[in-house]
Structure 1
Amino acid sequence: MARNDSTTDFQLDGPAAPLLEVDDLRVHFKTDKGVVKAVDGVSWHVEEGETLAIVGESGSGKSVSAMSILGLVPTPPATFPSGDIRLRGRSILKMPEKQQRKLRGSEIAMIFQDPLTALNPVFRVGDQIAEMIRTHQQVTKTVARRKVLDLLGEVGIPNPAVRINQYPHEFSGGMRQRAMIAMALANDPKVLLADEPTTALDVTIQAQIMLLLEKLRQDRNTAIVLITHDLGLVASHADRINVMYAGRIVEAGSCDDVFYRPQHAYTFGLLSSLARMDKKRQTRLLPIKGVPPSLSRVPPGCPFHPRCRFATEACVEAVPTLETVKLVDMADGGLHRAACIHSDQVEMAFQERVVE
Structure 2
Amino acid sequence: MARNESTTDFDLGDGPAAPLLEVDDLRVHFTTDGGLVKAVDGVSWYVDEGETLAIVGESGSGKSVSAMSILGLVPSPPAVFPSGDIRLRGRSILALPEKQQRKLRGSEIAMIFQDPLTALNPVFKVGDQIAEMVTNHQHVSKTVARRKVLDLLGEVGIPNPGVRINQYPHEFSGGMRQRAMIAMALANDPKVLLADEPTTALDVTIQAQIMLLLEKLQEERNTAIVLITHDLGLVASHADRINVMYAGRIVESGSCDDVFYRPQHAYTYGLLSSLARMDRSRQERLLPITGMPPSLSNVPPGCPFHPRCRFATEACSEALPPLDTVVLPETDGGGLHRAACIHSDQVQIAFEERLAQ
Place the TM-score, normalised by the shorter chain, in its bin: over 0.9
Deviation at 1:38, TM superposition (A): 0.3
Q: Could you tell me whether the CA contact under 8 Å between 1:8 and 1:95 is conserved in 2?
A: no
Q: Tell me what 2:135 maps to.
A: 134
Task: Give how far 1:332 is off.
Answer: 3.4
Question: Deviation per CA, 1:132-163, whole angstroms, max 9, x where unpaired?
Answer: 00000011111000000000000000010000
Q: Deviations over 1:81-114 (max 9, x none)?
A: 1110001122112222211110000000000000
One-letter code aligned to 2:297: S
Specify the alignment match of 1:148 in structure 2. 149
Q: Find the aligned partners of 1:346 and 1:327 in 2 and give their Cα distance.
A: 13
Q: TM-score, normalised by structure 2?
A: 0.95
1:204 maps to 2:205: yes
Equivalent residue, structure 1, for 2:5: none
Ranges in structure 1 where 5+ consecutive residues have no aligned partner: 1-6
- For the structure 1 residues 329 and 77, does the alpha-carbon distance in structure 2 shift closer, same or farther, using more than 3 Å as the test? same
After TM superposition, give the deviation of residue 329 of structure 1 in Å: 2.4
- Aligned partner of 1:3 in structure 2 is none
Q: Deviations over 1:161-186 (max 9, x none)?
A: 00000000000000000000000000
Deviation at 1:334, TM superposition (A): 5.4
Identity in percent? 86
Task: Report what 2:56 is aligned to.
Answer: 55
**What's the counterpart of residue 107 of structure 2?**
106
2:250 is aligned to 249
SS in 2 for 1:320: coil
Q: Is 1:215 matched up with 2:204? A: no
Alignment map for 1:1-356 (pairs within 5 Å): 15-333=16-334, 335-356=336-357
Q: Contact 2:254 / 2:334 at 8 angstroms: preserved in 1?
A: no
Q: RMSD across aligned C-alpha pairs, in angstroms?
A: 1.6
Q: Is the 8 A contact 1:325 1:334 kept in 2?
A: no
Q: CA shift at 1:57, angstroms?
A: 0.2
Tell me which amino acid in the other structure corresponds to 2:142: K
Indicate how the Cα distance of structure 1 residues 17 and 77 shifts in structure 2: closer, same or farther if over 3 A, else same.
same
CA distance in 1, matches of 2:174, 2:210: 11
TM-superposed CA distance for 1:328, in Å, is: 3.0
For residues 124 and 10 of structure 1, the distance between their equivalents in structure 2, rounded to whole angstroms, comes to 33
Distance 2:41 2:244 in 1: 14
Question: What SS does the aligned partner of 1:275 have?
Answer: coil
In structure 1, C-alpha distance between the alignment counterparts of 2:349 and 2:31, rounded to whole Å: 41
Tell whether the 8 Å contact from 1:20 to 1:47 is kept in structure 2 after alignment. Answer: yes
Question: Contact conserved, 2:255 with 2:334, CA < 8 A, in 1?
Answer: no
* Contact 2:111–2:195 under 8 Å retained in 1: yes
Which deviations, in whole Å up to 9, do the C-alpha atoms of 1:42-83 show, x marking residues without a partner?
000000000000000000000000000001111111111111
Check whether the contact 2:255–2:335 (CA below 8 A) recurs between aligned residues. Answer: no
Contact kept? 1:8, 1:91, Cα under 8 Å = no
Change (3 A) 1:9 1:209: closer
- What is the TM-score normalised by the length of structure 1? 0.96
Aligned AA for 2:91? R
Measure, in 2, the Cα distance between the counterparts of 1:234 and 1:12.
Answer: 32
Task: Provide the secondary structure at the position in 2 that maps to 1:291.
Answer: coil
Distance, in Å, in 2 between the alignment partners of 1:70 and 1:99 is: 12
1:297-322 Cα offsets, whole Å, 9 max, x none, are 00000000000000000000100000
In the TM superposition, residue 33 of structure 1 has moved relative to its aligned partner by 1.0
CA contact (8 A) 1:10 1:89 kept: no
Q: Which stretches in structure 2 are left out of the alignment for 5+ residues?
A: 1-8
Q: In the comparison of the two structures, how many residue pairs are matched?
A: 349
Alpha-carbon shift at residue 280 of structure 1 (Å): 2.0
In the alignment, residue 355 of structure 1 is paired with which amino acid? A
Contact 1:54 1:225 in 2 (8 A): yes
Q: SS state of the match for residue 182, structure 2?
A: helix
For residues 314 and 129 of structure 2, the distance between their equivalents in structure 1, rounded to whole angstroms, comes to 56
1:10 deviation in Å? 9.7
